[in-house]
Amino acid sequence: MPYRPFVLPQLPGYAMDKKTVLNETHREMGARMVPFGGWDMPVHYGSQLDEHHAVRRDAGMFDVCHMTVVDLRGAAVRPFLRRLLANDVDKLKVAGKALYSCMLQADGGIIDDLIVYFLTDDWFRMVVNAATTEKDLAWIKEQAKGFEVTVEPRFDLGMIAVQGPQARSRAEALLPQALRAPAMALKPFSAAYAGEWFVGRTGYTGEDGFELMLPEDDAPGLWRALAEAGVRPCGLGARDTLRLEAGMNLYGSDMDESQSPLTSGLTWTVAFEPDERDFIGRSALENQRSAGSLARFTGLLLEGKGILRGHQRLFDGEREVGETTSGGFSPTLERSIAMARVAADAGEQLTVDIRGKRLPVRRVKMPFVRNGKPCIET
Amino acid sequence: MSNDVPTDLRYTKSHEWVRVDDEGIATIGITDHAQELLGDLVFVELPEVGSELGAGAECAVVESVKAASDVFSPLTGEVIEVNEVLADAPETINQDAYEDGWIFRIRMADPDELDALMDADSYAEHSESDED
């Protein structure tokens, strides 16, 4: 058949069709399932557009059980993470606070992006991407040698993201009693836990909400209860358009080992201060910074009709200046948007090659949409 | 999953349908099965009126929120009309793939080419075997 596959990053070499604990539930509830990074995941439950709007306007939920929770414990966990991550966990002063960071190779290439939570002086928790889990764990364990730290992937935990302006209020009653008040009191980018249930006020949509970690066996019951409470089940399709509108990078599309945070719009996540913190990749990033003329990571708005996708070539006049890294239709803006990497001296008005035609695109500051509202002029 | 497959149409393996009238004009669109596989459509690139198409030629593109797909002309002929409604309302294909969601019309050069296309039963079987 001529249909090009749903292009999301898939790393080779992993067993296909792994199933999350919610797989049967998705099928019973009418999801269309597709392969995604070695997992059999729901792409939508009928209409990706309706799911997208549900998250922007009300509440939706995503199966993110394929992502991996990693607990790091030990007396040396803080110094270890200050070495491992490009962002500085010393910014985390209050128990429960979260930090977004890249994990870099020595040459500055991005191994993965992740969220790390500070829980106690000898316990931090990370959430890493699904497709990168094996290489991440190998890397982390290798780097942990010589530190008094244990690295424990929590494959026993499931994860459900509940997102949207009404997400927290819909989820509240379904949390364990002991977690309700602490969860509702959370500030953005912080977490609380009770027993094996863990709630972070975090997400990947540009909306308010929770990411819930819980014992796998409890996940199907919570999924159904959330649906009954009016939280719309959503697939990975809506997750992709929501994160794109929110200006949030997707590992494997917008960055990988061949790019550094400085060329991926993630300079803000690199803590160069204090000077003496020697994180992995630091000297490479300093060299890149002093060499200058680094590629710029930018948002793009397609001026006319059509759809931007990843890996479309960009031109400033007749000069090729870069390419889109991911793109698509923005359901909120009803226009096509993209993320792109372009030469340092590329102009603001560019053209994109779509099937041999040059169409005008305008560089815009991301995010495109946040908390239900457009952030750019269309 | 079963989809609507009208018995008065002819079909291609690549999920186009063809309706032929008495004057040798063929109306072409994508099937209900195809629109469901694609999901919500957000853009349709139409062929140019007056262009000459060979059977099997790429002639239009339908883009959903998740992917772009080529539409192939099932028959040889000249494009005489395109469905301009789709420029502003591509979702018409999701709503009504076989009537309001038609994509283009051609004047057939060789009606014998119809014999190579599938009938509804064959297409239904083909599209079911096409499901994962």
ipTM of model: 0.86
Mean predicted confidence (pLDDT) in B57-61: 96
In A, which residues are within 8 Å of B70 by CB distance?
2
In a domain, B3, yes or no: no
* SS3 at position A157: strand
In B, which residues are within 8 Å of A328 by CB distance?
65-66
Please report the pLDDT score of residue B3 as a whole number.
80
Numbered residues of chain B with Cβ closer than 8 Å to any chain A Cβ: 13-15, 34, 37-40, 42-43, 45, 61, 63-70, 72, 87, 130, 132
pLDDT at A11 over 50: no
The per-residue pLDDT for range A63-112, each reduced to its tens digit, is 999 999 999 999 999 999 999 999 999 999 999 999 999 999 999 999 99
Task: Compute the count of residue pairs across chains A and B with CB atoms less than 8 Å apart.
Answer: 63
Asked if the bond preceding A274 is cis, omega within 30° of 0, the reply is: yes
In a domain, B2, yes or no: no
The per-residue pLDDT for range A44-64, each reduced to its tens digit, is 999 999 999 999 999 999 999
Nearest to A1 among B15, B45, B65 (CB): B15
The per-residue pLDDT for range A266-309, each reduced to its tens digit, is 999 999 999 999 999 999 999 999 998 999 999 999 999 999 99
Which pTM does this prediction carry?
A: 0.92
CA dihedral B57, B60, B66, B67 (to 10 degrees): 30
Question: CA A245 to CA A205: how far, in whole Å?
Answer: 8
In a domain, B4, yes or no: no
Nearest to A47 among B40, B68, B70 (CB): B40
**Domain enclosing residue B44, as ranges:** 10-127
- Which phi and psi (to 5°) does residue B34 adopt? -65, -45
* CB–CB contact A306 B38 (8 Å): no
Bridge partners of residue B78, in order along the sequence: B52, B107
Domain positions in chain A: 23-62+156-245, 295-378
Q: How many domains does chain B have?
A: 1
Its CATH class, for the domain covering A295-378, is mainly beta
In A, which residues are within 8 Å of B34 by CB distance?
3
- Of residues A207, A256, A196, the one with CA closest to residue A69: A196
* CB–CB contact B130 A1 (8 Å): yes
A72: CB partners within 8 A, 6+ apart? A80, A81, A123, A124, A125, A126, A140, A144, A149, A150, A151, A152
CATH superfamily of A23-62+156-245: Probable tRNA modification gtpase trme; domain 1 (3.30.1360.120)
The per-residue pLDDT for range A187-239, each reduced to its tens digit, is 999 999 999 999 999 999 999 999 999 999 999 999 999 999 999 999 999 99
Please report the pLDDT score of residue A362 as a whole number.
98
Nearest to A3 among B45, B67, B87 (CB): B67
* CB–CB contact A1 B65 (8 Å): no
What CATH number is attached to the domain comprising B37?
Answer: 2.40.50.100
State in Å, rounded, how far the first CA of chain A is from the last one. Answer: 36
> H or E stretch including A84?
helix A77-84
Please report the pLDDT score of residue A292 as a whole number.
87
Other Cβ atoms closer than 10 A to A122: 15
